[in-house]
A and B are shown apart, each in its own frame.
Chain A
Amino acid sequence: MINRLIIITLTLVVFILSCKKQGQLVEPDITNGDVEFTITGIYRSQTFAIQAGINGYYMFSDVYVQPSQSFFTFQSDLKKLNCSGNCPSSLSIFLSSYNNDTNVGRFNDSLMFNTSRNFNFTIDSISSLGFQTTNEIYVDFVNNSGVELSSRFMTTNEGNLSNFTITNVTEFDVNANGQKTKKVDFQLFCYVKDTIGGVTDSLYFDGAFGFAYPSP
Chain B
Amino acid sequence: MSTLNIPKSTIDDSNIKIAKVDQDNGSNIKYRIPIIMDVITDNSIAESYKSMLVSVKQSDKFKIVSLEKNNKISLVANAGITFSRGYNGGKISADLPYLGGELYYQISNKINIAAGAGWYSRSNIGYILSSTSTSYGFGKSETSSITSLDKIYLLEIPLKINYQLKSNHLIGLGGAYSIVIGGENRQWTNSTDYTPTGINSNEMQNIEQLGGFTNTYNNTLSVFGTYEYRYKRFGVEARYYYGLNDLTIDEKVKLTAIDRNSRFLITLKYLLLK
Contact = CB atoms under 8 A, between A and B. Distances in A.
* Chain A partners chain B: yes
A175 B139 CA distance: 10
A9 to B, nearest CB: 9
B116 to A, nearest CB: 20
Nearest to B127: A23
B205 interface: no
| Chain B CB within 10 A, most for which of A23, A51, A54 | A23
Nearest to B89: A22
A173 interface: yes
A60 B139 CA distance: 9
A21 B87 CA distance: 8
Given A2-B165, A18-B262, A25-B255, A10 B138 contact: no
Contacts, number: 126
Given A53-B140, A54-B140, A81-B139, A22 B90 contact: yes
A7 interface: yes
B257 A20 contact: yes
Contact of B255 (A6, A24, A32): A24
Contact of B136 (A24, A28, A53, A81): A53
Interface in B224-256: 225, 227, 229, 238, 240, 242, 254-256
B133 interface: yes
Contacts of A173: 137-138
Given A17-B242, A29-B131, A22 B257 contact: yes
B160 interface: no
Interface stretch (A34-42, A86-94, A138-146): A34-42
Contacts of B133: 29-33
Interface of A: 2-3, 6-7, 10, 13-14, 17-18, 20-37, 51-54, 56-61, 81, 172-173, 175-176, 210
24 contacts: A13-B225, A20-B85, A22-B89, A22-B90, A22-B257, A23-B255, A23-B259, A24-B255, A25-B128, A26-B256, A29-B129, A29-B131, A30-B133, A31-B131, A32-B134, A35-B136, A51-B136, A54-B136, A58-B138, A59-B138, A59-B139, A172-B137, A175-B138, A176-B197
Interface of B: 83, 85, 87-90, 92, 127-140, 144, 165-166, 169, 171, 194-197, 225, 227, 229, 238, 240, 242, 254-260, 262, 264
